[in-house]
Amino acid sequence: WYEFSVMSSGLFQIWAYDATGAHKKGYHLINSGGSTAIRMGNKTNVYAIVCSGNDLTLYINGVESASFSEKKYGFNKGKVGINVSSLNVIPIIVEFEYFDVQEP
């Protein structure tokens, strides 16, 4: 699967997880960067992720933050999930207004 991680520090990472070992089992960083579009602190963020064929695009608050063609892993079907974690900041409160999945 592909995994998009956005941190409150203004950084993001995009991973491929190879569960079968077709290339090399485990997590592999395939893109990373920073975005000034990430609203830090107690503010609302809107994330959109588009996976269309080999093209992966991450939007943060309406700003295209990463767009590239991924051909090494080529995951072309699968499921969708969402996760929130706080590695070392407590207490933390996270709320989701909505989670929407659509076919491109």
> pLDDT tens across 20-61, in order?
888 888 999 999 999 999 988 778 889 999 988 889 999 999
Residue 85 reports pLDDT greater than 80: no
Residue 5 reports pLDDT greater than 80: yes
- Of residues 56, 10, 73, 40, the one with CA closest to residue 48: 56
Rounded Cα–Cα distance for residues 14 and 8 (Å): 15
Which pLDDT score is estimated for 104?
63
Which pLDDT score is estimated for 69?
93
Q: State which amino acid sits at residue 7.
A: M
Rounded Cα–Cα distance for residues 13 and 31 (Å): 6
User: pTM for the full model?
Assistant: 0.83
What is the number of alpha carbons within 13 Å of residue 2 lying toward its C-beta?
27
Which pLDDT score is estimated for 23?
83
Residue 100 reports pLDDT greater than 90: no
Give the DSSP letter string of the chain.
-EEEEE-TTSEEEEEEEESS-SSSSEEEEEEEEE-TTSPPSS----EEEEEETTEEEEEETTEEEEEEE--SS-------------SS--S-----S-------
Average of pLDDT values for 63-92?
A: 83
Average of pLDDT values for 97-103?
A: 84
